[in-house]
Structure 1
Amino acid sequence: MSHLITLADGGVLDLSAWPLPDGVEDGVLNRTQLARAFAVTENTITKWIGLGLPVLSEGQNGIAYEFQLSHCWAWKNARDEKARATKARGDQIAAQAMLGFRNLDADQEEEEGHLTADDIRKMSEAEYHRNRVAEQRGDLVRADRVRALFEESLVRIGTSLDTLPDFLEMKFGLTAEQVADVEQRTDQLREKIRGDLEELLRRPGAVLAIGDRQGELGV
């Protein structure tokens, strides 16, 4: 059977969900006694009052605060349970976010999806240190350096493609129509290369070894 009380903030607390432990007698306590019962300081009780701890009567004019032990016990357990649920939800979101940010593939997600946020954090820290060592050895390369290299290469490729029609016209005596065809083809090739490079650089993920994915662009 439920026993509901209304809290100061308008919320409803079901006392039957968190009954006093066996052998603990219910009763009315003052602030000092309640602090002793919960093994906390009176300052903590004052803080709890501000957070919504049920109060039977507020102290004034030399009269002490009064608290029903069963009400306070249920309130504290409900608050602790809510805090645990909030933390568990936060850990779940953090774990999902970390998995997503690490760009796990399907196999990795199956293997690592059960890990807690703390497990993943420790694993990520270890992975970071491994990558740092590998970078210092020259086995890994940073994405910003790859991007700079790609941009420099695009400039060189673009310059070569721009001058290619003129070179072919002079070297092989192409007609104006043939030169136009070459220009159209080089423009298409330039856009294809740029699009492939931009698509590759947009992909999230960890730093990769230089030789791991050679030929991925297909150009």
Structure 2
Amino acid sequence: MQDRLTLPDGSVLDVARYPLPDGVVDDGEPLNRADLSRVFGVSENTITDWIGKGMPVLAGGRNGVAYELSLTECWAWRQHRESEDRNTRLRRDERNAQNALLFRNLDDGQEAEESGLTAKELREWSEAEYHRNRVAEQRGDLVRASRVQELLEDLIGVTRTSLSTLPDHLERELGLNAGEVTMVQRHCDALLLKMRERIETDMLGGAQVAQLPGRGDRAGLL
């Protein structure tokens, strides 16, 4: 195991900066995707997604060879990534709080409430609202779009995989003929298409919430 790793984006990961939690032991034996997903409490689809985003791999991943992953290195990468995400969110939150003072997209109720405020009072009101949002997030009343997006991507991946393999399962378990398998496949494809259309229409279009920014919209989920 290396103490410093060069990631695909050119950045250097200091593995020693992110030690494993107390009591967690890495015996040096490589883990596969299923092993790591159980340890981290996420799905294999999430592990695959992280690998695509630069999580270090010891070996494998080509020509049907299983991935070999280091628990220590993958943990350090995950902690580093979460730290970077937190810093990015903090910078965006600060920028959005400042922008709120410069440009207010007020509805009728807010306009009536704020019309008599001085610049100092408006700044204090904006800062108080920003902190209220932060407290609401910590209580669980507000959820960041990035967390919802990650969960949705995971669920969509599971659904897509299940629907893609459903015709074959039904053919084996229920003895469907070729025509019936084709019919099931057609219905599964139609469902995936409908899900994609709803995501593109309802999730990827329109205005975005500025107060609690996420990682950005991503097309091609299905």
Q: Which has the higher contact order (CA 8 A, sep 6+)?
A: 2
* Rg comparison, structure with higher value: 1
> TM-score with structure 2 length normalisation?
0.48
